[in-house]
Structure 1
C-alpha cells in the first residue's frame, strides 16, 4: 500500500477490518486524506481489483474524544440512512461496513462507496446550483422510511446564542425572543439535518456552470425526523454566510418552487429560520476556517459574523 501523505495512513486494526470487507483478490493500493470535515477523519482508499482496474472507497473515522462519545449514535444513523436510500432517487454513498463501537477498529469507523463529483462553494454558477439544491432537498424529504429516525435535536437555545461583536442587538434580542417561544406544530419529514453546499457533490463541466448536476449527497450522520423547515433553514443560513443574505432567502423560494411544503404561518417559518440562523452563531469560527481551507480565503471569521448579523436582521425585517 502506498500512502499519498502521512495523514492518509490507515491504522493497523482499521486496515485489517477494511481488508476483510474487500472482494476476493482485491487489495488497497493507495490512501489519500480528504480534507474539509470537522467531526471525523476522512480517507479515500483506492482498491486494486482482480481484473487489474481500481475502484474507490471512503473511510470515515471518529478520532477526537469529543466526537468519539457521539460516534455510535452518528454512525448507526448514517449506516441506517445509507441502507435506506438506494432506489429512492437520492444519490448517496453505498454502505460497505460499519463499526460504530470500535469493536474491530482503533476508532469508530464507517466504510462506504466513493461518489464522483466535488463540492462547489464559489459564487460563480450559484443561480444554477440553488434550484438543484432545492430539488434535491425536496427529494430527500419525500423519503418515507419504514422506521423513523430519532426526533431532531435543536442546536441552540436562547442561553447559548453568541451575538457577534457590533451586531444589531435589537434584531438579535427579538430573534432570541422568537426561539424562546413554544415549538410550533409541524408535520414530520425525513431530514438530512446537515444539508448544505459542503455536503453536496456536483459535476460541473469546465466553463459551463449552467450544465451542473448533483452527483451525491454525503454525511448522513445527523439524519432525523422533524419539520422540513429546519433542513431548509440550515441550507439557507449556509448559503447566506457563503454568498450573502439574499441567497438564504432565495433558497426558501426555490424549495417551494420545487414543490416543497413549508409551514403555512409566517410566524412558524420565522421560528425555524431564526432557530437555525442563531445556531450558526456558536460555530462561526469553525465554519469560516473550513471554508477558507476549501479556497474561500476571504471568508474570515469577522466576515462571516457580519454576514450572519445581516442575515438575522433580514429575517427579522422580512418575517418578523
Structure 2
C-alpha cells in the first residue's frame, strides 16, 4: 500500500483509521492506496480499497482535523454532514454516498467520514450551460422533502452580535453608506418564508464537473432546514463577484425557469452578503479589487430593490 505524506508535516490517516476503512468495506478488504486530494477546513484523501472478491472501491476519506472549530463552530459538524449524506442517498441529488462515519470518534484519530469518490473539478467559467446545470441541481436540492429534513438544525446567520460585535462597513470599502443601508435592512428582519432543505453554502466551488457535466455537489456540513433563498443568495454573491451582476441575474432566471417555487427575495441576498463580511480579506491585488468592485455594484443594485 502507498500513502502520500502531507507536505506541511500533518500526519496522514492513522493506522487505526485505515483499519476502520478496511473493516467497514468488508471482511478481507485491503487498502491499496491512499492519496492526498486536498487540505482546507478538512483533510481529504482518495482511498482505493480492494474487496475480498476483487472489487476495487474508489472512496474518499474526509477528516475533520480542525480541533479548534470542532469546539467552537456549530456549523463545523461532521455528524450533521453524515446525516445529510445519509438522507441524500435516496434522492437524485448528485452527492457523495455515505459509506461509513466515525464522528465521535471511536476508531479514527479525528472525526471522519468515508464516502464514494466523485470525480471531477469545479468549473472554470460560467457560461449558460454551466449556469443552467447549477440552477437545475439546486432545484433538485430544494425538492428534497423527507421526514428527516425536519430534524436537521435550523438555519441561522453566521453573524452573532455577542461574538462579533456591531456590524461595521469594511474599512477598505468606498461605500460605507451602502453597507449601513444594508445593515438597516437586515436588522429589520426577514420576510415570511416556508423553510426547506438547503445546502447553506452552495456556490460553484462546491460542485464537481466531468467535462461539461455537473456530477457532484460536495461539502454538506452546513446542510440544514432554512430559507431556500439563502442558497440562491450564496450562489449569486459568488457569481456577481467573479463574473458580474448580469451573470448572477442569469442564474436566477434559469432557476426560476426550472419550474420550482420562486424562493428569491433581496433580503436573503443582503443577509448573506453581511455574513460574507465576517471572513472577507481586504482586497490586495488588482483581481481581488475588481471582484470586490463587482460585488459592491451588485450589492447596491440589490439594496435598491427594497
With the shorter chain as reference, the TM-score category is: 0.7 to 0.9
Please list the CA deviations of residues 248-296 of structure 1 after superposition, one character each: whole Å capped at 9, or x if unmatched: 22222221111232358xxxx121111112211222339x99xxxxxxx
The answer to whether the Cα contact below 8 Å between 2:25 and 2:51 also exists between their aligned partners in 1 is: no
What's the counterpart of residue 256 of structure 2? 256
The answer to whether the Cα contact below 8 Å between 2:167 and 2:183 also exists between their aligned partners in 1 is: no
Match of 1:153 among 143, 149, 156: 156
CA distance in 2: counterparts of 1:87 and 1:155, whole angstroms: 29
Question: Helix, strand or coil: the match of 2:110?
Answer: coil
What's the counterpart of residue 301 of structure 2? 314
The answer to whether the Cα contact below 8 Å between 1:33 and 1:42 also exists between their aligned partners in 2 is: yes
What's the counterpart of residue 169 of structure 1? 176
The answer to whether the Cα contact below 8 Å between 2:89 and 2:98 also exists between their aligned partners in 1 is: no
What's the counterpart of residue 141 of structure 1? 142
CA distance in 1: counterparts of 2:167 and 2:19, whole angstroms: 43
CA distance in 2: counterparts of 1:157 and 1:308, whole angstroms: 23
User: Are 1:275 and 2:278 matched, yes or no?
Assistant: no
The correspondence of residues 152-301 of structure 1 with structure 2, limited to 5 A, is: 152-156=155-159, 159-160=166-167, 162-163=169-170, 165-204=172-211, 212-263=212-263, 269-285=265-281, 299-300=287-288
- Displacement, 1:152? 0.4
- Displacement, 1:161? 5.2
> Cα distance 1:285–1:13, how it changes in 2: closer, same or farther (>3 A)?
farther
Please list the CA deviations of residues 68-89 of structure 1 after superposition, one character each: whole Å capped at 9, or x if unmatched: 2248972222111111112321
Match of 2:108 among 105, 108, 128: 105
What's the counterpart of residue 14 of structure 2? 11
Count of equivalent residues:
296
Question: Helix, strand or coil: the match of 1:215?
Answer: strand
- Displacement, 1:177? 0.8
What's the counterpart of residue 70 of structure 2? 68
Bigger Cα displacement from structure 2, 244-253 vs 231-240: 244-253
When normalised by structure 1's length, the TM-score is 0.83
> Cα distance 1:43–1:3, how it changes in 2: closer, same or farther (>3 A)?
same
> Cα distance 1:251–1:72, how it changes in 2: closer, same or farther (>3 A)?
closer
Question: Helix, strand or coil: the match of 1:6?
Answer: coil
CA distance in 2: counterparts of 1:307 and 1:281, whole angstroms: 15
The answer to whether the Cα contact below 8 Å between 2:169 and 2:176 also exists between their aligned partners in 1 is: no
The answer to whether the Cα contact below 8 Å between 1:194 and 1:222 also exists between their aligned partners in 2 is: yes
- Displacement, 1:305? 2.9
The correspondence of residues 33-48 of structure 1 with structure 2, limited to 5 A, is: 33-35=36-38, 38-48=40-50
Note the aligned Cα RMSD (angstroms): 2.6
User: Are 1:118 and 2:118 matched, yes or no?
Assistant: no
CA distance in 2: counterparts of 1:178 and 1:19, whole angstroms: 53
Question: Helix, strand or coil: the match of 1:90?
Answer: coil
> Cα distance 1:303–1:11, how it changes in 2: closer, same or farther (>3 A)?
farther
Please list the CA deviations of residues 128-179 of structure 1 after superposition, one character each: whole Å capped at 9, or x if unmatched: 1111111111111111121211210212368345525133222211111111
Question: Helix, strand or coil: the match of 1:21?
Answer: helix
> Cα distance 1:117–1:26, how it changes in 2: closer, same or farther (>3 A)?
same
CA distance in 1: counterparts of 2:79 and 2:97, whole angstroms: 14
Question: Helix, strand or coil: the match of 1:29?
Answer: strand
Question: Helix, strand or coil: the match of 2:281?
Answer: helix
- Displacement, 1:119? 1.4
Question: Helix, strand or coil: the match of 1:151?
Answer: coil
CA distance in 2: counterparts of 1:71 and 1:181, whole angstroms: 25
Please list the CA deviations of residues 81-122 of structure 1 after superposition, one character each: whole Å capped at 9, or x if unmatched: 1111123211111111111122221111111111122211x2
